[in-house]
Amino acid sequence: MKIIFATGNKGKLREAAEILGEGFELVTPAMMGITEDIPETGDTLQENSIQKADYLFERLGCDCFADDTGLEVDALGGAPGVHSARYATDGHDFAANMDKLLAELEKVGAMTLEQRTARFRSVITLIWKGEKHFFEGSFEGYIAFEKAGCGGFGYDPVFIPERSQLSEAGMDTVCPEGCTVAECPDDLKNAVSHRGKALRAMAAWLAENK
Ligand code: ITT
C-alpha to C-alpha distance for 188 and 97, rounded to whole angstroms? 24
Position 3 pLDDT exceeds 90: yes
Position 210 pLDDT exceeds 90: no
Position 101 pLDDT exceeds 90: yes
Q: Choose which residue among 65, 84, 158 to substitute to test ligand 1 binding: the one with the highest number of ligand atoms within 8 A of its C-beta.
A: 84
Separation of CA 173 and ligand 1 centre (Å): 27
Q: Within the chain, where are the H helices?
A: 10-20, 45-60, 94-107, 163-168, 186-192, 194-209
68 catalytic residue (yes or no): yes
Q: Which of 63, 67, 68, 156 is catalytic?
A: 68
Q: Which atom of ligand 1 is nearest to the CA of 152?
A: 28
Separation of CA 85 and ligand 1 centre (Å): 6
Residue 92 is predicted with a pLDDT of 84
C-alpha to C-alpha distance for 174 and 170, rounded to whole angstroms? 9
C-alpha to C-alpha distance for 60 and 110, rounded to whole angstroms? 46
Position 46 pLDDT exceeds 90: yes
One DSSP character per residue, 178-203 reads T--GGGS-HHHHHHHSHHHHHHHHHH
The residue whose CA is least distant from atom 14 of ligand 1 is 85
Q: What is the pTM of this model?
A: 0.97
C-beta of 120 in contact with ligand 1 (< 6 A): yes
The residue whose CA is least distant from atom 20 of ligand 1 is 154
Each residue's pLDDT tens digit, 154-186: 999 999 999 999 998 888 888 889 999 999 998
Q: What is the mean pLDDT of residues 134-139?
A: 98
